[in-house]
């Protein structure tokens, strides 16, 4: 249960505010990116993905932005809720590689 | 939406023992990937199975091995357990072999090696 994120960077936001979680990826050849949410005791949960031929994609309350020039990915969560509290990971895929490479994660804490 | 189930949820072993972890993929998914997640870190790719064959492997020694069955379920076997093998082992399923998109993860098996 306590296997995730004891010493991770932490972002603290108030309920109702917007959250922005950032991720720097490593490989300029990466063509696909995913954001996952991981709650304590659970596996990563898919949030949203984006291909490298796009720079923005929107889902329900979430937006992912991709800046290939500086190899940067961000996840924006609108009207953050207590249930959004978790560790968030970005992951990248390079070409036809069968693996995803995950970042180190950011803990999001939502305060009331 | 996950539908990926893993067993057991927790396991305690001693150094030198062998362990088998099991995973049932989400309905309609033919590809299974295994990841190791150490405390405070992101998941690390172990290997992937597609059509019952290993489809790619991360930087893990040969004592980490796997199987995929005709129903797409999978096993992860670890021989000669070491203390550093203590971690959360995650199984993820997807469609399409090399097309490693939209992986859906199970809740994992927490392995403790004493």
Q: Smallest Cα–Cα separation from B92: which of B60, B59, B44?
A: B44
pLDDT digits (tens, 9 = 90+) for A8-19: 899 999 999 999
Q: What is the pLDDT of residue A7?
A: 63
Report, as an integer, the average pLDDT of A73-102. 91
B87 at A interface, C-beta within 8 A:
yes
Q: What is the pLDDT of residue A5?
A: 43
Sort out which chain B residues have CB atoms less than 8 A from A5's CB and list them.
Answer: 40
Tell me, what DSSP letter sits at residue A5? -
Structure confidence at residue B100 (pLDDT):
61
Instruction: Render the burial of A13-33: b for 16+ CB within 10 Å, e for the rest.
Output: beeeeebebebebeeeebebb
pLDDT, residue B55, reads: 86
C-alpha distance from B9 to closest chain A C-alpha (Å)? 10
Least CB–CB distance from B104: residue in A46, A101, A102: A46
pLDDT at A72: 94
State the average pLDDT over residues A31-47.
94
Q: How confident is the model at residue A3 (pLDDT cuts 50, 70, 90)?
A: very low
- Per-residue pLDDT at A99 exceeds 50: yes
Q: How far is A49 from chain B (nearest CA, A)?
A: 8
Assess whether pLDDT exceeds 50 at residue B91. Answer: yes
Max CA pair span of chain B: 38
* Top-confidence residue, B42 or B98: B42
The mean pLDDT of B85-103, rounded to a whole number, is 84
Whether the pLDDT of residue A102 is over 90: the answer is yes
Residue A67's beta-bridge partner residues?
A: A72
Of the residues A27, A98, A103, the best mutation for testing chain B's interface (the one with the most B CB atoms within 10 Å of its CB) is A98
């Amino acid at each position: 249960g306590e296997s995730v994120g004891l010493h991770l960077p932490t972002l603290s936001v108030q309920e109702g505010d917007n959250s922005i979680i950032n991720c720097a990826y490593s490989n300029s050849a990466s063509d696909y990116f995913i954001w996952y949410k991981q709650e304590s005791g659970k596996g990563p949960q898919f949030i949203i993905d984006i291909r490298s031929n796009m720079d923005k994609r929107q889902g329900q309350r979430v937006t992912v932005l991709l800046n290939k020039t500086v190899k940067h990915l961000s996840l924006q969560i609108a009207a953050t809720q207590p249930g959004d509290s978790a560790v968030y990971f970005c992951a990248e895929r390079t070409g036809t590689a069968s693996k995803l490479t995950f970042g180190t994660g950011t803990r999001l804490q939502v305060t009331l | 939406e996950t539908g990926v189930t893993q067993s057991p949820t927790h396991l305690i072993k001693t150094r030198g023992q062998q362990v088998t972890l099991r995973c049932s993929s989400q309905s309609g998914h033919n590809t299974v990937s295994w990841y190791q997640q150490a405390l405070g870190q992101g998941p690390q790719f172990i290997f992937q199975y597609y059509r019952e064959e290993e489809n790619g492997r991360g930087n893990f020694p040969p004592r980490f091995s796997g199987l995929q069955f005709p129903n797409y379920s999978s096993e992860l076997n670890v021989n000669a357990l070491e203390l550093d093998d203590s971690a959360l082992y995650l199984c993820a399923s997807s469609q399409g072999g090399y097309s490693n998109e939209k992986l859906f993860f199970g809740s994992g098996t927490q392995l403790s090696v004493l």
